[in-house]
Amino acid sequence: MAAAAEEPLFLRACRGEPVERTPLWVMRQAGRYLPEYREVREKTTFLGLCKTPELAAEVTFQPIRRYNLDAAIIFSDILVPVEAMGVQLDFNPAPVLATKVRTEADVDRLIVPDPVKSMGYVMESIRIFRSGMPKTPLIGFAGAPFTLMAYLVEGGGSKSYSQAKQFCYEHPKVARKLLEKLSETISAHLIAQVEAGCQAVQIFDSWAGHLSKDDYLTFGLTPTLRIIEALKKKNVPIIVFAKGAHAALPELSQSGADVLGVDWTTPLDLARQLTGDRVVLQGNLDPSVLLGPIENIQTQVQRILNEAQGGKGHVFNLGHGILPETKPEHMGALVEAVKRLGVRRVPA
């Protein structure tokens, strides 16, 4: 047990190993709710922040310094690889892509970039963080193929992603070709992040919930499986967060991922039943709970911890990214509650 305790809590939990308490990190934990983040952000554009390793590492440090969370996630954006593939990207403040992918010729023009040459600033941010906080596990990340395809086809965000879905229905072969190219790009990007120092990775399929189960299995999970397979040789925990894809939890639990992120609309005890307790679960506090009174934050934390009991393992997180209007002290209350109430998972 002493030897195991040397391994960080978060990494042990991701592997379903015994832990002293439930570990905690939060999606978008480096963000606008923190005054120290806003101070750094005022110095540059959002993309400028992503592409300046010293600044990206600094904002990655910030929530760890303030809250002593159990893991950090490198500051970047899921659309960075899309820009590296040859599509001009801007944020105004939401992402805007200069060109839309609508034909096979458009797909053919996209390149599969060398991640070190085209996104080396991400790897340098990782090295700076690992040098500065070597004891804090660092998570690398990327967007899943369908989510990135949705941005490429729509040219930005959307309420329904109907054009992306139409593209899949009308041009399924071209859609699969695009998804394969995205899988290759994302795999290389995540492997480069691991080689630079990340000790776990998360794949964000933010728009998976816009698909039916059948469409998700075809256009969402299938290309994601290629990424998981490519990452397996790196022997780091793989987290998949397919927001809204509740119906596909049984299939996701057999994807090879070590951890499945669950959004706040599916209770963790139900998710455990759907996954057959094959994987560790991550989640799943509604981010809006942090906007309410601290007493309710504590109550909801206890509820989620109760739902997670008896499963293979649990990493506490929000069910999506922390909201910019969250008060820093409410985030602090969340951390305190999880650390105080977190389920002990130690050998009998």
- Catalytic, 12? Answer no
Widest distance between CA atoms in the chain: 60
Out of 41, 66, 102, 278, the active site residue is: 41
Phi and psi torsions of 72, nearest 5°: -115, 155
Nearest one of 268, 91, 104 to 180, comparing CA atoms: 104
- Catalytic, 41? Answer yes
> Class assignment of domain 29-275?
alpha beta
**CA–CA dist 272, 253 (Å, integer):** 10
- Catalytic, 169? Answer no
Out of 32, 66, 102, 278, the active site residue is: 32
Q: Where are the alpha helices (DSSP H) in 171-312?
A: 172-196, 213-215, 222-231, 249-252, 268-275, 294-308
pLDDT at residue number 306: 94
pLDDT at residue number 345: 55
- Catalytic, 33? Answer no
- Catalytic, 28? Answer yes
Domain boundaries, the chain: 29-275
pLDDT digits (tens, 9 = 90+) for 105-127: 999 999 999 999 999 999 999 99
Transcribe 210-229 into DSSP letters: GS-HHHIIIIIIHHHHHHHH
pLDDT at residue number 343: 76
Out of 77, 205, 258, 263, the active site residue is: 77
Out of 33, 37, 67, 151, the active site residue is: 151
Place of tokens 């809204």: 244
Nearest one of 14, 241, 37 to 142, comparing CA atoms: 241
The CA-atom distances, in angstroms, between 14 and each of 237, 260, 306, 347 are 6, 10, 19, 17
pLDDT at residue number 93: 85
Out of 12, 21, 28, 345, the active site residue is: 28
Count of residues in the chain: 348
The CA-atom distances, in angstroms, between 297 and each of 141, 272, 334, 335 are 27, 23, 6, 10
pLDDT digits (tens, 9 = 90+) for 54-98: 999 999 999 999 999 999 999 999 999 999 999 999 998 889 999
**Residues with pLDDT less than 70, the chain:** 1-5, 344-348
